[in-house]
Structure 1
Amino acid sequence: MKTLLIYPPITDPTSGYHSLSYIESYACSKGFNDIDIMDTNIEALHYTMQPEESERIIKGIEKRRIYLENKGQLNKLEELELYYSWKAKNFDNSKLRTAIDVLQDEDKFYDYSLYRPAVEIISSWVSIITLLGFPGQFNGFSVPVNTHFNLYSIGDLTNEDVINRVSNPFVGYYNNVFMQYLNSNNYSVLGINVTYTAQLPFALYISNLVKKEHPELKILFGGTAIADVWKYIIDKKRFFEIFNNVDACTVGEGESAFVSILTNVKNNEPLSPTANVLLHPKYGHEVKEHIPIKYENIEELPTPDFNKLPWEKYLSPHPYIYYSPSRGCYWNKCTFCDYGLNFDSPTSPWRQYSLEKIVEDLRILSKNYKFIYFSVDVLAPAMLLKLAQRIIDEGIDIRWGAEIRLEKYWSVERCTMLKQSGCTAISVGFESGNQRILNLIDKGTKIEQVKETIKHFTEAGIGVQMMGFTGFPTESLEDAMDSVNFLYENKHNWTFGGLGTFVLTKGAIVAQKPKDFGISNVKSYKGDDIAWQLYYTNTVGGYDEDEEILVKGKGSLRKNHFERPWVGGVDSPHTMFYHDVFGTQIIDEIIKPNNLIEMEKNKPDLTVYLNGVVQKGIDKYPVDKLFNESSFAQFVNKYRDNGVGLDSKEIKGKLVNDLKFPEESNKDTKYFLRNDGRLFPFPKKMLEFLEFFNNGKTLNDAMNTLDFSNAELLSLFEYSVDHHFLTYVSINSEKDLLVSM
């Protein structure tokens, strides 16, 4: 009996996730050895970046752009499409191969002046291919839950037109690679892991596609996002409306459940009820409000085998694995937390491997993998210190990172031992810089202690990534700014991180005891059938009118150019790699390539390149006045802010009748489009300055050619370098790296 496990788009392309490897390893230990793993997330992305496929995509987009530019009137959705297709106009798809090479090459990867443009090219491409689906549907390597469609709406998740369109950027891969592979192998079971909500529409598309051609194939869904759908769906009887082409779904921990299903299939038995499994009603079992939940004895789990992941395809120079030596959280008190199948506490029950098992697993894994992230809610301090000592004693050569609590336990000496064992970076949920809010969260920490602890880690040479949020119930603007000020005042003791925004979910203590936290009117959003997030009203605190002050304060904390999965994203593989090489001085390395002013003083003939393109506008429709990604986000958020979640039909209905007619515009209007896809409607003089560097020029060339004063040139040059409009690296269409050093 053959089984295929797949990981669907769209998520991190820099490493494989560990869920399928854990499931496969456990099944093998129980005698099911004929299991293949296929990472369709990375394979589908690579397929779009092949020269012939990318050329086909660009030609199709160009044809559609010309049509829209010449149309007599545009609705708001067409405006958005024209905006994205205009930005794609001069994209050079031949640069993709060079960008991939930079990210996979061990030497080039660590040259940030090469790394940054490579990431910008890949990121721009991901934005461009959204034109095959809903324009702008991807936010990096994710899908916003509320965009052209609503991932919390059963109507949208069961709307085949919506699912097909969302998945259309990868339809060539599905038809020409995935289905051909599936058709050529005699699989009995197809398992699809859905870790993130963003993967859900792609997983549903694949299950629909496969079931039509192979109705006899047993299709299983599992993963965190599937468990969350079950956990948060308002009417559980409607669960299989979403998963109509799925035979069974595992919710919670899946090892035993998966083996139970495989046993049924192997023995030609009907799928039978078992813990953590929901069976499609066609098997004669009613979908109940509650099902038996089993938590694994994790000490009995085998060492995970990651060898079936396609390591040569990931956009990284090294393999990076996720290893889970514990499940649940030993603290398990935070009032905002709601993670896992937790029924009476913030997380699922706390369990941890024995020290001997962790050491033995690491001894085996370190033979093939140097970079290991302990993918857990949090690791217990005493165990972690003992583990560090054993790693040192046994000479296990790894680099590792983990999320930990900021306990007083972590002295400089103990942090130093972690560093000696290979710890390169940690992430910490400090949550807030205000003690009253920390107490309300029940974090169990003191802000002064947090300050000392992150200092100890930094002094030991371990990068500290800080995670917190604003907007917790009862928080005032002053409370929120305490968090901003804390991070700013201690900015030398953390590398990356920042402040998000509080989101209320129904399993959190806050939602269960709203009066204790000064909130009322707690309810699901109108239109959301899956109450992943809850709407509420503050009765105490709040600062809507002063939101801009806080937004500006948060922005001042930003040290990174990119979010996950790139360097700067908390706990991303690339961030760990850079921490390993550059340590706590990582920020200096990121800033260094932009210091062209100092370089010019020492090397006045340094060639500088334009990091983007000066591009002609659209005759009939001024580009900077088109409905764009920001306009669309404001439109959707206006309804969310009032407790309403729109579905795709409602969004379309509100936007298709809002028409834009051609305007008189200057045919010579130009814009600067940076390589990361950001548009800048600069004055003519600034555009003339930037365009001069298009094919590579020196500052001396500009002074000798342009009719600008030296003071003007130096001012524009410094501004352009600071905003990454100019760089001394260019990835050109001949796939060569042009570097002025």
Structure 2
Amino acid sequence: DWAFGAIGTQDKAKHLATLYLEDISDFIVECIDPNFGFSRYAERLGRSANSFDELYEALHQTPTYIDSILIDILKNSIEEVQPKLFLISVPFPGNLYAAFRSAQFVKQNYPHIKISMGGGFPNTELRSLSDKRVFEFFDYITLDDGELPIELLYNAIVKGGEFNLYKRTFLLENEEVTYRNDALRSDYKQADVGTPDYSDLLLDSYISVIEIVNPMHRMWSDGRWNKLTMAHGCYWGKCTFCDISLDYIKVYEPVAAKQIVDRIEDLVEKTGQNGFHFVDEAAPPALMREVALEILRRKITVTWWTNIRFEKSFTGDLCLLLKASGCIAVSGGLEVASDRLLKLIDKGVTVEQVAKVTRNFTEAGIMVHAYLMYG
């Protein structure tokens, strides 16, 4: 019990099985592939964002055994779909090597297919891209919201022509890395982007693991959550350490509560799963209230969690309402437990306020995870 606390027998078994998988992973790392990992691969290479040299060198080594598995799956998909445009989303450093290896294979074997990268990693780490070698693998790299940039890429590839407009897109022109943002069209509104489509994912084939028995930490790896957002960007947008100049933070645009719950019902019907993670930068308290009321009004059963700021708006009554609608956890950035430093970074909260809010959530039965900076 000292290790597991009050968790049940099934969770104990799942955690022990996870430790066994980690032992297998360690064996693979030592004997087969030093870059192996179950949830991330060659992450160390991806973290060297200040230089492309090490990753470039690795990509010119003989493909590893794990690479060959990836390439076999990719080859079958390419042959089946026969795309004109191949899009690769890279959210984290642990996805970067596989993205480049996949692009390399397609470039070498299907040179007529255009390849583009997007996602969280290029959005934050490649905004000052200047290394031409990247474009030996990719034709385009798009930043921030992807709907309009990809639509314009599609038009350029399918319709052709010498003159094309692009939105937040890196490409190679006259052997030089060029950033194009000349399309006058505005990005699609959040109300118009639609509901995520998971129909091509083998949702019943993913395993759930418990890497850490902490009930909040395990939510990142145990089970599967449908992803939605209540609002694009951050309604606060002042924290000095944050990327507040970038569109994904700066452009705040909430979605109507009824439309959010429409999307919830749509995803439950399509996936058969009623767990939701709202991946907002910071979900607005007033909108969370409206979403909770709409969930209760429709009498649907869901489980959900999200990211917040520790606003004083989270009263005891609001936390009870959120709990009643299915909210089981929140995570938020406290950053530092010092009022002096909180003021300096323009966080907009005090330690006392955070303590009251976390107590309100805890008393309502909602788990709280706080992000802190040390050093």
Identify the TM-score tier after normalising by the shorter chain: 0.7 to 0.9
Tell me which of the two structures has the higher relative contact order, counting C-alpha pairs closer than 8 angstroms and 6 or more residues apart: 1
Corresponding residue to 2:70 among 161, 174, 191:
174
Q: What is the one-letter code of the residue matched to 1:142? A: R
Report the equivalent of 1:154.
52
Deviation at 1:291, TM superposition (A): 3.4
Q: Residues of 2 paired with 1:155 and 1:311: CA distance?
A: 36
User: Helix, strand or coil: the match of 1:287?
Assistant: strand
Taking a change above 3 Å as real, the CA distance of residues 362 and 270 of structure 1, as seen in their structure-2 partners, is farther
Mapping 1:334-733, distance limit 5 Å: 334-338=239-243, 341-342=246-247, 347-367=249-269, 368-471=272-375
Q: What is the one-letter code of the residue matched to 1:113? A: K
Corresponding residue to 1:199 among 85, 90, 95:
95
Q: CA RMSD in A?
A: 2.9
Mapping 1:212-361, distance limit 5 Å: 212-231=108-127, 233=128, 236-238=129-131, 240-269=132-161, 272-281=164-173, 284=174, 287-288=177-178, 291-292=181-182, 295-316=187-208, 319-338=224-243, 341-342=246-247, 347-361=249-263
User: Helix, strand or coil: the match of 1:338?
Assistant: coil
Deviations 1:488-540 (A, max 9, x none): xxxxxxxxxxxxxxxxxxxxxxxxxxxxxxxxxxxxxxxxxxxxxxxxxxxxx
Q: Residues of 1 paired with 2:355 and 2:246: CA distance?
A: 33
Taking a change above 3 Å as real, the CA distance of residues 299 and 286 of structure 1, as seen in their structure-2 partners, is farther
Q: Residues of 1 paired with 2:78 and 2:159: CA distance?
A: 22
Deviations 1:45-96 (A, max 9, x none): xxxxxxxxxxxxxxxxxxxxxxxxxxxxxxxxxxxxxxxxxxxxxxxxxxxx
Q: What is the one-letter code of the residue matched to 2:314? A: W
Corresponding residue to 2:29 among 120, 130, 152:
130
Q: What is the one-letter code of the residue matched to 2:75? A: M
User: Helix, strand or coil: the match of 2:373?
Assistant: strand
Q: Percent identity?
A: 24
Taking a change above 3 Å as real, the CA distance of residues 183 and 301 of structure 1, as seen in their structure-2 partners, is closer
CA contact (8 A) 2:238 2:244 kept: no
TM-score (norm 1): 0.44
Q: What is the one-letter code of the residue matched to 2:316? A: V
Deviations 1:368-419 (A, max 9, x none): 3300000110111111111111111111211000011111111111100000
Q: Residues of 1 paired with 2:27 and 2:49: CA distance?
A: 22
Q: Residues of 2 paired with 1:172 and 1:182: CA distance?
A: 15
Taking a change above 3 Å as real, the CA distance of residues 443 and 212 of structure 1, as seen in their structure-2 partners, is same
Deviation at 1:127, TM superposition (A): 2.9
Q: Residues of 2 paired with 1:395 and 1:300: CA distance?
A: 26
Q: Residues of 1 paired with 2:31 and 2:168: CA distance?
A: 37
CA contact (8 A) 1:167 1:201 kept: no
CA contact (8 A) 2:169 2:180 kept: no
Q: Which runs of 5+ in 1 are unaligned?
A: 1-107, 472-741
CA contact (8 A) 2:257 2:291 kept: yes
User: Helix, strand or coil: the match of 1:279?
Assistant: strand
Report the equivalent of 2:217.
none
User: Helix, strand or coil: the match of 1:111?
Assistant: helix
Deviation at 1:332, TM superposition (A): 0.7
Instruction: Indicate the structure (1 or 2) with the bigger Cα radius of gyration.
Output: 1
CA contact (8 A) 1:335 1:442 kept: yes
Q: Residues of 2 paired with 1:109 and 1:209: CA distance?
A: 46
Q: Residues of 1 paired with 2:175 and 2:19: CA distance?
A: 50
Taking a change above 3 Å as real, the CA distance of residues 180 and 164 of structure 1, as seen in their structure-2 partners, is farther
Q: Residues of 2 paired with 1:442 and 1:335: CA distance?
A: 6
Report the equivalent of 2:4.
none
CA contact (8 A) 2:304 2:328 kept: yes
Q: Residues of 2 paired with 1:287 and 1:164: CA distance?
A: 22
Q: Residues of 1 paired with 2:278 and 2:47: CA distance?
A: 34
Taking a change above 3 Å as real, the CA distance of residues 110 and 354 of structure 1, as seen in their structure-2 partners, is farther
Report the equivalent of 1:680.
none
Taking a change above 3 Å as real, the CA distance of residues 146 and 375 of structure 1, as seen in their structure-2 partners, is same
Report the equivalent of 1:111.
10
Taking a change above 3 Å as real, the CA distance of residues 406 and 247 of structure 1, as seen in their structure-2 partners, is same
Q: Residues of 2 paired with 1:122 and 1:116: CA distance?
A: 10
Count of matched residue pairs: 352
CA contact (8 A) 2:165 2:182 kept: no
Report the equivalent of 1:641.
none
Q: Residues of 1 paired with 2:67 and 2:33: CA distance?
A: 14
Q: Residues of 1 paired with 2:354 and 2:342: CA distance?
A: 11
CA contact (8 A) 1:221 1:250 kept: yes
Q: Residues of 2 paired with 1:393 and 1:218: CA distance?
A: 47
Deviations 1:646-680 (A, max 9, x none): xxxxxxxxxxxxxxxxxxxxxxxxxxxxxxxxxxx
Report the equivalent of 1:121.
20
Taking a change above 3 Å as real, the CA distance of residues 147 and 302 of structure 1, as seen in their structure-2 partners, is closer
Q: Residues of 2 paired with 1:181 and 1:305: CA distance?
A: 18
Deviation at 1:204, TM superposition (A): 0.7
Q: Which runs of 5+ in 2 are unaligned?
A: 1-6, 209-221
Taking a change above 3 Å as real, the CA distance of residues 169 and 148 of structure 1, as seen in their structure-2 partners, is farther
Taking a change above 3 Å as real, the CA distance of residues 139 and 432 of structure 1, as seen in their structure-2 partners, is farther
Q: Does 1:142 align with 2:23?
A: no
Q: Residues of 2 paired with 1:181 and 1:143: CA distance?
A: 21
Stretch deviating more after TM superposition (422-431 or 170-179): 170-179
CA contact (8 A) 1:211 1:245 kept: yes
Deviation at 1:141, TM superposition (A): 3.0
Q: What is the one-letter code of the residue matched to 1:287? A: V
Deviation at 1:187, TM superposition (A): 2.3
Report the equivalent of 2:216.
none
CA contact (8 A) 1:164 1:205 kept: no
User: Helix, strand or coil: the match of 2:133?
Assistant: helix
Report the equivalent of 2:79.
183
